[in-house]
Amino acid sequence: MKTPLLEAIRKRTLLGDGAMGTQLMLAGLEQGNCGEAWNLTHPERVLAIQQRYAAAGSDCILTNTFGGSRIMLRRHHHDGDVEALNRAGVEIARQAFAGRDGYVIGDIGPFGGLMEPYGDFLESDVRAAFDEQAAALVNAGADAIIIETQTSLEELSLGIAAARQAGAPCVIGSLAYDVTLDGSTFRTMMGIDPERAAAFMEEQGADIVALNCGTGMDMERARQAALRYRAVTSLPVMVQPNAGLPKLVRMKVVYDETPEQMVAGVGPLLDAGVSILGACCGSTPDHIRAFRKAMDEHEKQAL
C-alpha cells in the first residue's frame, strides 16, 4: 500500500508538476475556452501533458480541475458536468503515473469573483460550489486537495472547510502573493501577508501551507515566503513559483525563465525546508526534469 502523502513528506521532499494552462494552449486549447472540459472531450491530450510531467520525475500531479467548480464551469455552460469532469480529472492524473506510486492532488482554484459585501456572489453559493467540487475529487480518489491561487482568507476558509468535510486525506491551502511596487515585501491582492495566512490556515485545519503563482514570485521570493511560513507554523510547506517574472510580449503575459535559470533556486528552497516543490506559470516538463535532477543531487549530498 502506498505511503500517505503526509507521511511521505516526513521522509523526503516531493516534486510537484509544472504549469497546465500553457501546456493546454500548446496542445490546441484556445484562449478563453474551458480547459477543464478537455477532461471529458480530449482526455488523451490532458493525459499526454501529465505523462510528460510524470516522466520528468513528478511525485505529485495536480488534476486539471483548477476551474472545475460549478461557478467557474457555468461561464462555459459546463455546469452540468461538475462531477464527471472532476472525476475524470483524478482518473487521468492517476493514469499518468502508469501504475507507479504517485500522488494525485485534486486542484481547486478560485471561483473567479468576489463575495458579498465586496462583490455579488453569495457566500452560500461559493461554499456549495467548493463542497461539490471537493466531494467529487475526494470520491474519485484524490490523495490530497489543494485550494490554490487564493488571495482572500474568506474564500480560502471555504475551500479548506470543503476539503475537510469531503474527507480529504490531506488539505493544502495555497496563496498567490504579489511583490509590492517598492519590492520590499509581498502580500496577496487582498492584503494578506504570509505570516497571517499561515496562522490562519493552521487554525482552519489545513495540513500543508503553500504558495503558488502571484506576481514577481520567483524561486527566491518563494524561498523567503517559505521561511516566513516556517517562522510561524510547524506545518509542512509547499511552493509552486512561476518561471520568473511576467513580461508583456505582443500583448501577452509570458514567463520565460529557463530550466537552467530556475533550477539554481532549487537548493536554497530545499535548504529552507520545503516539503513539496513544484512550479506554476511558464514552467514546463523541462523545468520539472531539471528540478528532479537537482533534488536528487541535493539528497545525495545530504547523505
Q: What ranges make up the beta strands (E) of 204-265?
A: 208-212, 237-240, 246-249, 252-255
Strand pairing report for 14-15 and 144-150: unpaired
d(CA 45, CA 37): 11
Shortest distance in whole angstroms from residue 111 CB to Zn ion: 17
d(CA 142, CA 96): 14
Applying CB under 5 A, which of residues 47, 49, 96, 281 lies at the interface with Zn ion?
281
Our CB check for Zn ion shows the closer of 213 and 294 to be 213
Choose the binding region for Zn ion from 119-127, 246-254, 273-281, 291-299 (rule: CB under 5 A): 273-281
Our CB check for Zn ion shows the closer of 158 and 213 to be 213
Choose the binding region for Zn ion from 49-57, 119-127, 250-258, 280-288 (rule: CB under 5 A): 280-288
Neighbours of 246 (CB within 10 A): 17
Q: Which residues contact 113 (CB under 8 A, 6 or more apart)?
A: 71, 119, 120, 121
> What's the grid cell of residue 142?
484524490
Choose the binding region for Zn ion from 28-36, 132-140, 262-270, 275-283 (rule: CB under 5 A): 275-283
Three-class DSSP category at 46: helix
- What is the per-residue binding string for Zn ion in 84-123, x denoting contact by CB under 5 A? ----------------------------------------
d(CA 135, CA 164): 10
Our CB check for Zn ion shows the closer of 198 and 280 to be 280
Our CB check for Zn ion shows the closer of 213 and 262 to be 213
Our CB check for Zn ion shows the closer of 106 and 278 to be 278
d(CA 147, CA 78): 21
d(CA 53, CA 29): 19
- What is the per-residue binding string for Zn ion in 50-69, x denoting contact by CB under 5 A? --------------------
Our CB check for Zn ion shows the closer of 135 and 239 to be 239
- What is the per-residue binding string for Zn ion in 209-248, x denoting contact by CB under 5 A? ----x-----------------------------------
Contact between 47 and Zn ion (CB under 5 A)? Answer: no
Our CB check for Zn ion shows the closer of 19 and 137 to be 19
Q: Which residues contact 126 (CB under 8 A, 6 or more apart)?
A: 71, 111, 115, 155, 158
- Give one DSSP letter per residue of 53-118, joined into a string: HHHHT-SEEE-S-TT-SHHHHHTTT-GGGHHHHHHHHHHHHHHHTTTS--EEEEEE---SS-BTTT
Shortest distance in whole angstroms from residue 254 CB to Zn ion: 12
**C-alpha R_g of the chain:** 18
Contact between 280 and Zn ion (CB under 5 A)? Answer: yes
Our CB check for Zn ion shows the closer of 240 and 275 to be 240
Shortest distance in whole angstroms from residue 223 CB to Zn ion: 17
Shortest distance in whole angstroms from residue 65 CB to Zn ion: 15
Q: Tell me the number of residues near Zn ion by CB under 5 A.
A: 3
Residues of this chain that bind Zn ion (CB under 5 A): 213, 280-281
